[in-house]
Amino acid sequence: MDFVIEGGEFVALIGPSGCGKSTLLNILAGLEEPDHGEVLVGGSGDRLGQLTLMPQSDALLPWRTVLENVAAGPAMAGSNSEAGQQQAMAVLEEFGLRGFEDHYPHALSGGMRQRVALARAVLGGARYWLLDEPFGALDAFTRTHLQRFVSEAWRRHEPTVVLVTHDLDEALLLADRVLVSSNRPGRIIAQVSTDLPRPRTPEMTTYPEFAAYKRELMEHLFASGAFA
């Protein structure tokens, strides 16, 4: 795979199951090393600590409260405990979690747990967010709700985002550009740039121009072998 992502851009990656999308995110995050080639962040190969990875599971620490889980982000970024908790309280308000700061993860719904995970990612201080199907296990209503939180967080904090998803509507609602991977071994075979106005709403999925973008992505996925 060979591609460039501009600073502050929101890019989605779609493709057949097993083509290597999650592995690619792990390589970008520095959790795995490529067999060949390199990953450059801002022109440098040193990327550890510069990116935050939000996996498919929320990965919350069950023995920590919501506040303590979110405050782990600033702690890893070097903030002291008091400053971290103040920052965490502010972002809990942003993500609609005020009043749940003393709850433990087991007491939260799946959607709320993912909001906590997103809040922790925001406070980690990284300017690059890697999102690996973070809402894939949620129901359609909750997923739509959380897509709005992601869109708003991107607008406020202006990170560079790479989102892996199997949901074409999600890719088009959130991303500036959608990359399409072939079947394994994964190769970028197409990209679709969108000019849908922001802020984007679920109602846009009924627009003719949205349907045209979705049709184009489907054609590329058929060509990739996703439905073979």
Domain boundaries, the chain: 1-50+127-228, 60-125
What's the confidence (pLDDT) of residue 80?
59
Beta-carbon contacts of 31 under 8 Å, excluding residues fewer than 6 positions away, are 53
Q: Name the token pair of 43.
A: 């022109």
d(CA 83, CA 99): 19
Q: Is the peptide bond before 199 cis (omega within 30 degrees of 0)?
A: yes
CATH architecture of 1-50+127-228: 3-Layer(aba) Sandwich (3.40)
At residue 73, the pLDDT reads 65
Measure the CA–CA gap between 24 and 30, rounded to whole angstroms. 10
Tokens of 15: 């493709």
Q: How far apart are CA 117 and CA 66, in angstroms?
A: 9
Q: What is the pLDDT of residue 163?
A: 96
Q: What is the pLDDT of residue 78?
A: 60
> What does the alpha-carbon distance between residue 168 and residue 69 come to, in Å, rounded to a whole number?
31
Predicted TM-score of the model (pTM): 0.89
Mind listing the pLDDT tens digit for each residue in 146-167? 888 889 889 988 999 999 999 9
- Give the type of residue at 44: S
Mark the ranges of the chain whose per-residue pLDDT is less than 70.
73-81, 226-228
